[in-house]
Amino acid sequence: MPQVPVHGVRHLIAVGSGKGGVGKTTVAVNLALALQLSGNRVGLLDADVYGPNVPRMMGLQEAPQAVGPNEILPLEKHGLKLMSMGFLSPGDRPIIWRGPMLHSVIQQFLRNVVWGELDYLIIDLPPGTGDVSLSLAQTTPITGAIVVTTPSDVSLEDARKAVLMFRQLRVELLGMVENMSYLIAQKSGEHVDVFGCGGGRRTAQEMSVPFLGELPLMPEIREGGDSGRPSALAGKDSSVGRPFYELAERVLERVEEVAGQKRPTIAVED
C-alpha cells in the first residue's frame, strides 16, 4: 500500500501511548499549542475516534462546515486548526465501529479536511496498538512518533509495546515523554513521586529511545484541560506552561535530526 503525503503538511507527528489514562491527549493538545504559539503553523487531528477528548480540552463544540462534496473546513481555536470525531458526533453517543470504518474516517480526516499549509500536524492516536495506528502508518508518511507514559510499572510495560509497535511499522521514534512524573506540594514546593521515580527515563535508555523530558502532575493542568483552557496558553514563562514549551523545543530538535536523515515530503497538487 503506497504512502501518500497529506497535502500542504510538512511534518506529521503521532502522539501515542500503550494504555489509556496517561495524559496522552493533554500532552498532544499542549504540545500543539506550544508549537503554534512559538510561531509555527500547526494542526491537531484527534484520531482517538472512540474517546475524542480534544473538543472539551480546547473548549470547542461546534460542527465543522463542508465546503464541497468531499471537503471539510477544520475548526480553529487559538490559531490551531482542529478536527475530531467529537465535533461530528458530540455528546455521550458512543462510536461502535469495526476496523474498516476506522480506516475510512481517518483517511477522510487526513485527505478531505482542508488543512492548508502546515508546518506540523499533531495526531492524537487512540491508546494501545490497534487499527488506527496501523492505518495511519501504512498510508501516510509520518515524520516521527512520541510515546507518552507515566512512571508506574504498569504504564511502562505498555509503553514498551507502543515503542515496539512503531518500530515494527517503521515509524521513527522522536522520543518518550514521562507525564505525571511528580506532584509539587503546594505549601512546601517538595516534589512527591506519586507513581514512582525515573521509570520513563530508564525505559527510554533501555530501549535506545530519546527521552524528551518529565511533565509534572499539577491540578492546574487538569483544570485547564477540563475548562477548555490548556496550560500552554499561560505562556512559556508560567509554571504550568513552561514544561510544554520545553517539550516543544526538544521535539523540534528531534524533528530536525530526523528530517536530516530523510527529506520531508510535502504533497502538492499537479
Is residue 268 assigned to a domain? Answer: no
Its pTM surpasses 0.75: yes
Whether the per-residue pLDDT at 3 is higher than 70: the answer is yes
Is residue 269 assigned to a domain? Answer: no
Q: What is the CATH number of the domain that holds 66?
A: 3.40.50.300
Owning domain of residue 254: 9-261
pLDDT of residue 266: 41
HSE of 263, CA atoms in CB hemisphere, 13 A: 3
Is residue 4 assigned to a domain? Answer: no
Chain segment 54-103, per-residue pLDDT in tens: 999 999 988 889 887 889 999 999 999 999 988 887 665 666 666 677 78
Is residue 1 assigned to a domain? Answer: no
Is residue 267 assigned to a domain? Answer: no
Structural domain count, the chain: 1
Chain segment 102-151, per-residue pLDDT in tens: 788 889 999 999 999 999 999 999 988 788 888 899 999 999 999 999 99
Is residue 95 assigned to a domain? Answer: yes
Is residue 192 assigned to a domain? Answer: yes
Encoded amino acid at 14, one letter: A
Is residue 42 assigned to a domain? Answer: yes
